[in-house]
Amino acid sequence: MNTNDYINFFDELDDYDEADKILNEGKRPPRNTGRHPKKLSAADRLFVHEQDDSKSNFKFTYKAARFEEWWLLDSLGSFYEHKWITDVLRRVKGGKEASVYQCQPGAEVDAPLVAAKVYRPRSLRNLKNDGEYRIGRVDLDEDGNALIKRADIHAIAKRTNYGEELRHQSWIAYEFKTLETLFEAGVDVPKPYALEKNAILMGFVGDLATAAPPLNSVTLDPDEAKDLYKRVVRNIDIMLTHNRIHGDLSAYNILYWEGDIKLIDFPQVVLPESNPSSWNIFQRDIIRICQYFSSQGVDCDARKLAPELWTAHGHKVFKDVDPKFLDPEKPEDRQAWDQRK
């Protein structure tokens, strides 16, 4: 989904009663206490307004459609309240699962700009085959802690509406906790700052005028391509050391900015020690990476590199990547399939 499609999506929602149902989903009706609040003087109202950091006082520069504006206020309001951000400047990426917004940081952030990754409402998201990635993962709550309540675990197993909401939260929390782990380990990922129920705040890659492009849109000179290839392999190796596989790694999920790279998009992260499909998923990641760097003149062999990295961390190699792990909608996967014929 490109930016124009995303704008049209929110505009269309404004025309449907279903949007209002989503806006008010899970909210209790206001209680009528029968009491009349004491009126404040004009000076008192001005003072309260100046001190108010609540969501109701959160006004941002970015011009959003009505539903999108509500969703941003609901998703990013806590970041504003806790002084993580002061403004939403623009949307830099729209997608089927989430969108990324460039934000002005608040006092709690040591960066000139930050990125807010805001997930779409659960009822409007389109996740395919996410069950393959969740195998072996303990579900997490909205704070990134393991769910331990029997009622929560039962709801997830029964796929109730509440259980699906918990799964949605866990999917987002896994991305944030993975970013924390990998950032501390020295992997080239954006610095994670904060997690909320429906959004992640992290370092912005780019500058005020331009967001970093994905690596697949960049043509590298031969020397730089070789250096970045080695750097990506190093990142993959560190991830394996910390029992993590990206799960959807390709040049589309690596940002390039002024000779530097950042790996992004980790909600589907796979745990190799507990997921029986991990070798197939890992091998697919390596195939995609080698496809891009081969196109940039780097001599790399996915069939050799994947087992070398894999076995170096004590894992066993099985058969070639199963076709079910290839997505026909992705050009790099179609190319991998064609090469098998």
Token pair 């002005």 is at which residue?
104
| Residue 137, domain member (yes or no) | no
Question: Domain for residue 259, yes or no?
Answer: yes
Residue 320 domain-assigned (yes or no): yes
Q: Pick the closest to residue 7 from 145, 99, 132, 84 (CA basis).
A: 99
Residue 95 pLDDT: 83
Residue 285 makes CB contacts below 8 A (sequence gap 6+) with: 236, 245, 246, 247, 248, 249, 250
- Is 280 contained in some domain? yes
Q: What is the CATH classification number for the domain harbouring 259?
A: 1.10.510.10
Helix (H, G, I), strand (E, B) or coil at 199: strand
Q: Walk along the chain (341 residues) and give the pLDDT tens digit of each residue.
A: 444 555 555 554 554 445 555 555 555 554 554 545 455 555 555 444 444 455 668 999 999 988 899 999 999 999 999 999 999 999 999 888 899 999 999 999 999 999 999 998 876 665 556 888 999 999 999 888 999 999 999 999 999 999 988 998 999 999 999 999 999 999 999 999 999 989 999 999 999 999 999 999 999 999 999 999 999 999 999 999 999 999 999 999 999 999 999 999 999 999 999 999 999 999 999 999 999 999 999 999 999 999 999 999 999 887 656 565 566 666 766 665 455 44
235 contacts: CB under 8 Å, gap ≥ 6: 187, 188, 263
Domain range enclosing 246: 215-340
Residue at 149 is within a domain: no
Decide if 159 contacts 129 (C-beta within 8 A).
no
- By three-state DSSP, how is residue 10 classified? helix
Residue 305: C-alpha distances to residues 193, 233, 249 (Å): 33, 9, 15
Give the pairing of strands 85-93 and 260-263: unpaired
The predicted pLDDT at position 52 comes to 47
For the chain, the straight-line distance linking the first and the last C-alpha, in angstroms and rounded, comes to 31
- Flag whether 332 is in a domain: yes
Q: How many domains does the chain have?
A: 1
- Give residue 142's pLDDT: 85
User: If 0-12 CB within 10 Å is exposed, 13-18 middle and 19+ buried, where does residue 245 land?
Assistant: buried
In-domain check, residue 234 = yes
What does the pLDDT read at residue 107?
92
Evaluate whether residue 327 is within a structural domain: yes
Q: How many CB atoms lie within 10 A of CB 200?
A: 26
